[in-house]
Structure 1
Amino acid sequence: MKKLLTIAGTDPSGGAGIQADLKTFAAHKTYGMSVITSVVAQNTTGVTNVVDLSPEFIGEQLDAVFTDIYPDAIKIGMISNENIIRVIVEKLKEYDGKNIVVDPVMVSTSGNSLMKSTATKTLIQELLPLADIITPNMFEAKLLSSIEVNNRKDMEKAARIIDKLIKGAVLVKGGHLENCADDLLYMDGKCYWLAGERIVNPNTHGTGCTLSSAIAVNLAKGMDILESVEEAKEYLTGAIKAGLDLGKGKGPLDHLYRL
């Protein structure tokens, strides 16, 4: 059985963060493990508070995982400050982490900021270069590239700028495009557009967490980057189409719709 590790924050309502990641791992019949970076008070209507765990304790969690059950792939989500980023980078290098997927969670689906502004520089300079693939949405691509990202042309321009900052691939997610949900995978100097239909369903809480976790699963199973993204996008589309309707805001997906 492939072993997956998520390093991220929590969601007590179960739709995003660590909880969404573990559900995604289970849905793909892999063994999920988790290192918690922050405890988040959030639900389908938004985030009300974030409490970061100490970098030292996060480091101890990482030691516990890597020295016992070595992960075949690693998904990294919410990291709110630079000290946490640095300890994660240190441990990934120490244990030679592989198949690293970074979802640069800077803002939640509900529009709440989840990363301190001082952490962005550290994220770009120290963590993103370790990733095999990063998965920013259009808003996060704007923050990383320092340009406006409103359409497909902007997505391509932003991807080329971000590509210069990292060694891996860039997946700019087009979930906020007006008439479609096409994603752009930029890799080895080439653009790969992955078509996606616009699904009429307001319940999209945790889509970014779910997609990045599914990509990590597929990398662990030996798929290449393009195939991993294509399969993950198909899984995510099904989870949205399943039509789960919970909560008073943007509800969660049905991660286990295939079971």
Structure 2
Amino acid sequence: MTNEFPQAVTIAGSDSDGSAGMQADLNTFFTRHVYGMSIVTACVAGNSFGIQDATAMPKPFIEQEFKSLAADFHIRAAKTGMLADAALIDTVVENYQKVDFGPLVVDPVIVTKHGAMLLETDAFTTLRQHLLPLATVVTPNFYEAQKLTEQPIHTDEDMVTAAKHLQRMGAKNVVIKGQHHDESQTQVRDCVLLESGEIMWLSAPYVHTDRVNGTGDSLSACITAEIAKGQSIKAAIILAKKYVNVCIANEIAVGHKFGPINHWAFQD
């Protein structure tokens, strides 16, 4: 019957080298047996060396993307990626609230895993006040969690405190990705706080590689895909952690410098 196949949408920028952004999300949807759609918010010209140019999509075009998909498909889960500025975030929030695209996974692309800022101050404030309260799941990295909560994180207790703070800000379920410290690191530990109040710690071996582009995108996309298939939030998060770790551990040789993860490595 029409629209019975699981469908999900990524609301994100297009990354021309395919390693991150919308392309990483769609690769993840595909390998998790979910039909993926996209609402393109920006286009990035880049390669494994870096980003050379970027442009945002006009607001009327983004609005039409929402309308076009809502008029035809049964989208069961959605996720956001990098949203360039405050106006773009407001556009996404306004249009998401007009449609039924299922639970929303927010990947708050604010700070890189190495601590570099990606979002201007006004856009950060808009994300925190307008987008975060819509999140069924929010997946900040270590630095983003510190920025969102405006508090330092040094211990496991600090991670839990930050997760609870994010819940009070409106997100129902929180995944704070563990810090990538240095070359001596052996484990990456993520803190999960579920809507029920349950706290989980998810650990995986730290893989020493520069083939990690799109890791955060793929984690949030995998959670989205599993939700679209009817999995519980808890099960979706646990599987996503395993998925990303396997994809990092099994490298593919693409590009000269910082390459993508291997989305085809995980089989179940």
- With normalisation by structure 1, the TM-score equals 0.93
Task: Give deviations 1:153-195, integer Å, cap 9, x for gaps.
Answer: 3322221221210141110001525441111111233321112
* 1:220 and 2:228 are equivalent in the alignment: yes
Q: 1:185 aligns with which of 162, 187, 192?
A: 192
**Residues 108, 144 of structure 2: 8 Å contact kept:** yes
Task: Give deviations 1:55-83, integer Å, cap 9, x for gaps.
Answer: 22111111111111131110111101111
CA distance in 1, matches of 2:14, 2:153: 28
Q: Tell me, which stretches of 5 or more residues in structure 1 are unaligned?
A: none
Q: 1:111/1:89 Cα in 2 relative to 1: closer, same or farther (>3 Å)?
A: same
Equivalent residues, number = 259
SS in 2 for 1:226: helix
CA distance in 2, matches of 1:31, 1:120: 31
**1:194 maps to amino acid:** L
CA distance in 1, matches of 2:108, 2:47: 20
CA distance in 2, matches of 1:151, 1:54: 43
CA distance in 2, matches of 1:66, 1:175: 38
Q: Which moved more, 1:212-221 or 1:94-103?
A: 94-103
**Residues 75, 100 of structure 2: 8 Å contact kept:** no
Trace 1:152-171 onto structure 2 (pairs within 5 A).
152-171=156-175
Q: Tell me, which stretches of 5 or more residues in structure 2 are unaligned?
A: none
**Stretches of 4+ aligned residues off by more than 6 angstroms:** none
How far apart are residue 109 of structure 1 and its match?
A: 4.9
Task: Give deviations 1:98-150, integer Å, cap 9, x for gaps.
Answer: 12101001134576543222111111111111111000000111110111234
Q: 1:110/1:176 Cα in 2 relative to 1: closer, same or farther (>3 Å)?
A: closer
Trace 1:93-104 onto structure 2 (pairs within 5 A).
93-104=97-108
Cα RMSD of the aligned pairs, angstroms, is 1.8
Q: 1:151/1:47 Cα in 2 relative to 1: closer, same or farther (>3 Å)?
A: farther
**Residues 191, 200 of structure 2: 8 Å contact kept:** yes
How far apart are residue 52 of structure 1 and its match?
A: 1.1
Q: Determine the structure 1 residue equivalent to 2:80.
A: 76
- With normalisation by structure 2, the TM-score equals 0.90
CA distance in 2, matches of 1:110, 1:41: 21
Identity level (%)? 34
How far apart are residue 51 of structure 1 and its match?
A: 1.2
Trace 1:71-150 onto structure 2 (pairs within 5 A).
71-109=75-113, 113-150=117-154
CA distance in 2, matches of 1:150, 1:54: 41
CA distance in 2, matches of 1:112, 1:43: 18
